[in-house]
């Protein structure tokens, strides 16, 4: 079982417009509302791909009631922690003309100390039974970097692989806590490490204690670096897909969580782990790209299997520019 933990969930509201013109009034078709937040999107992808998954999150207020009802109707196994504050909302406006998506994310209500304790205790209890745990998204007031680090360290100490997808100080805290994998993007790497080179930024997170960094680099694809192995794995789809990119990173996290559940020593410098990282790079890139083709975050296009065949995967050794195919002898 893969457990996803979403400390700051949201009711995702999505509208598609023919062309977004700031300051103008737009007439649109009915929007869509679904239980969201990064961890919920990860759970949706894994559930749809046949993985045993359990989504843990909080819910509160009238928005939380709508959030919970949609989650029930989705069929995704879940556990909800009741909280006093209202579940936040996230608004995505997809411009069909240029494929760009504008997002408005509410910050979310603070969690009370007893609510933080309940979320952390439940995550640890369920996480100890899991094959992998994915902790995803922004952190609400009350559940900050210190609480995240304590949860990550406890799960790692229990022998459970943990992937963390967050930003800000939480990213560094998760690295110091020994997270099995981190999934930053290039801007998060630059902001948190102060390094412009993504490879150097990823290595900085490994130096803090993380075991694996899977960095999404936008049009440049995806890069995987390991604490135990030199060099990096690079993957890129050789064409650009246009659509709703809000769930692309979450689809990649779903692929990482599934890979960790299958290969807990994914960061190892062994032939099996090297091939597993190459397969992960290919799949995470394809899943991320296919998510862009779907109108709502948390879904993969049926084309994701075919897209895997298009992905270019190469490895580079430290200080070497020459690529090789890490799957050639898999």
Residue 292 to residue 115: CA distance in whole angstroms: 34
Residue 102 to residue 120: CA distance in whole angstroms: 32
Residue 228 has pLDDT above 50, yes or no: yes
Nearest one of 90, 89, 99, 105 to 17, comparing CA atoms: 99
Q: Which has more pLDDT, 256 or 322?
A: 256
Q: Is residue 20 part of a domain?
A: no
Residue 324 has pLDDT above 60, yes or no: no
Q: Is residue 101 part of a domain?
A: no
Q: Is residue 236 part of a domain?
A: yes
Q: Which residues pair with 78 in a beta bridge?
A: 55
Which structural domain, as residue segments, surrounds residue 190? Answer: 2-10+36-88+108-316
Active site residues: 250
pLDDT band for position 329 (50/70/90)? Answer: very low
Q: What's the domain count of the chain?
A: 1
Q: What is the pLDDT of residues 21-79, one digit of tens each?
A: 888 888 888 888 999 999 999 999 999 999 999 999 999 999 999 999 999 999 999 99
Q: What's residue 101's pLDDT?
A: 84
Q: Is residue 122 part of a domain?
A: yes
Is the Cβ–Cβ distance between 136 and 42 less than 8 Å?
Answer: yes
Q: What is the pLDDT of residues 232-273, one digit of tens each?
A: 999 999 988 877 788 899 999 999 999 999 999 999 999 999
The CATH number assigned to the domain holding 62 equals: 3.40.1190.20
Q: What is the pLDDT of residues 1-18, one digit of tens each?
A: 999 999 999 999 988 888
Q: What's residue 94's pLDDT?
A: 83
Q: Give the least confident one: 18-22, 197-201, 305-309.
A: 18-22
Is the Cβ–Cβ distance between 223 and 217 less than 8 Å?
Answer: yes
Q: Which DSSP string do the residues of 148-210 spell out, in sequence order?
A: HHHHHHHHHHTT--EEEE--THHHHHHHHTT-SEE--BHHHHHHHH--SSHHHHHHHHHHHT-
Residue 44 to residue 25: CA distance in whole angstroms: 33
SS3 for 4? Answer: strand
Q: Is residue 50 part of a domain?
A: yes
Is the Cβ–Cβ distance between 299 and 44 less than 8 Å?
Answer: yes
Residue 319 has pLDDT above 70, yes or no: no
Q: Is residue 190 part of a domain?
A: yes
pLDDT band for position 327 (50/70/90)? Answer: low
Q: What is the pLDDT of residues 120-149, one digit of tens each?
A: 999 999 999 999 999 999 999 999 999 999
Q: Is residue 327 part of a domain?
A: no
Q: Is residue 116 part of a domain?
A: yes
């Amino acid at each position: 079982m893969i457990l996803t933990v979403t400390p700051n969930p949201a009711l995702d509201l999505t509208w598609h417009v023919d062309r977004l013109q700031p300051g103008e009034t737009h007439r649109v078709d009915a929007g869509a509302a679904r239980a969201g937040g990064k961890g919920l999107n990860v759970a949706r992808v894994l559930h749809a791909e046949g993985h045993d998954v359990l989504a843990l999150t909080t819910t509160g207020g009238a928005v939380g009631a709508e959030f919970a009802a949609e989650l029930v109707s989705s069929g995704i196994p879940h556990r909800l922690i009741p909280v006093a504050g209202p579940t936040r909302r996230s608004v995505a406006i997809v411009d069909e003309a240029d494929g760009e998506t504008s997002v408005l994310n509410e910050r979310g209500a603070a969690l009370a100390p007893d609510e933080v304790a309940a979320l952390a205790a439940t995550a640890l209890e369920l996480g100890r039974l899991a094959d992998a745990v994915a902790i995803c998204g922004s952190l609400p007031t009350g559940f900050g970097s210190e609480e995240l680090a304590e949860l990550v360290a406890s799960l790692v100490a229990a022998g459970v692989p943990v992937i963390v997808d967050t930003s800000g100080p939480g990213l560094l805290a998760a690295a110091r806590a020994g997270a099995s994998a981190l999934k930053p993007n290039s801007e998060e790497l630059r902001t948190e490490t102060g390094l412009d080179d993504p490879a150097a930024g990823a290595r900085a997170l490994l130096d803090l204690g993380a075991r694996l960094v899977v960095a999404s680099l936008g049009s440049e694809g995806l890069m995987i670096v390991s604490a135990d192995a030199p060099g990096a794995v690079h993957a890129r789809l050789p064409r650009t897909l246009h659509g709703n990119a809000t769930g692309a990173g979450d689809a990649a996290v779903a692929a990482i969580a599934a890979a960790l559940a299958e290969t807990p020593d994914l960061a190892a410098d062994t032939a099996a782990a090297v091939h597993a990282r190459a397969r992960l790079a290919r799949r995470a890139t394809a899943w991320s790209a296919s998510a862009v083709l779907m109108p709502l975050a948390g879904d993969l296009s049926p084309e994701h299997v075919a897209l895997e065949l298009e992905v270019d995967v190469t490895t580079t050794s430290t200080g070497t520019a020459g690529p090789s195919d890490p799957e050639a002898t898999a």
